[in-house]
């Protein structure tokens, strides 16, 4: 499904397996709708996708409550995760920690992988649920 990363995509009635869902999240725009979606819902999904939003029909989204085996985060990764939870951009996190943006991107990729998350938001949510960070 590499095409999801190149253009906003509207998928209708696709099996909501975890990999399809993760691809949609990684694309950061597009839509996953039921086959019985109304014309109005499809038009709104296309319009939302065109401006970089992600639209998902909740009945097609796999459960986010599934347990994942969490690899241990390093102290620095926990620190970066806390700053992600504050909503800071990569540049702001780098400035706070006196390290490069490239290093922050490396830490975020590692955090996403260890937590089994597709997005920063999902990583923060999983970190909160696992007790790695608190707000």
> Comparing 19-28, 80-89, 116-125, which segment has the lowest mean pLDDT?
19-28
- Measured distance CA(101)–CA(34) in Å, rounded: 39
Question: Higher-confidence residue: 86 or 27?
Answer: 86
Question: Higher-confidence residue: 44 or 94?
Answer: 94
What mean pLDDT is reported for the chain? Answer: 79
Question: Higher-confidence residue: 72 or 19?
Answer: 72
Classify strands 54-56 and 30-33 as parallel, antiparallel or unpaired. parallel
User: Structural domains in the chain?
Assistant: 2-60 (no CATH), 75-129 (1.10.10.10)
């Amino acid at each position: 499904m590499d095409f999801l990363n190149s253009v906003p995509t509207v998928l209708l009635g696709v099996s909501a397996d975890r990999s399809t869902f993760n691809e949609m999240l990684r694309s950061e725009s597009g839509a996953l709708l039921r086959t019985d979606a109304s014309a109005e819902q499809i038009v709104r999904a296309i319009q939302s996708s065109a401006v970089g939003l992600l639209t998902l029909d909740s009945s097609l989204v796999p459960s986010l409550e599934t347990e994942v085996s969490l690899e241990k985060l390093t102290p620095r990764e926990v620190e970066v995760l806390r700053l992600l939870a504050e909503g800071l951009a990569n540049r702001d996190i780098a400035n706070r920690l006196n390290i490069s943006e490239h290093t922050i991107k490396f830490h975020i990729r590692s955090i996403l992988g260890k937590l089994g998350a597709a997005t920063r938001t999902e990583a923060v949510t999983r970190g909160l649920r696992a007790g790695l960070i608190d707000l």
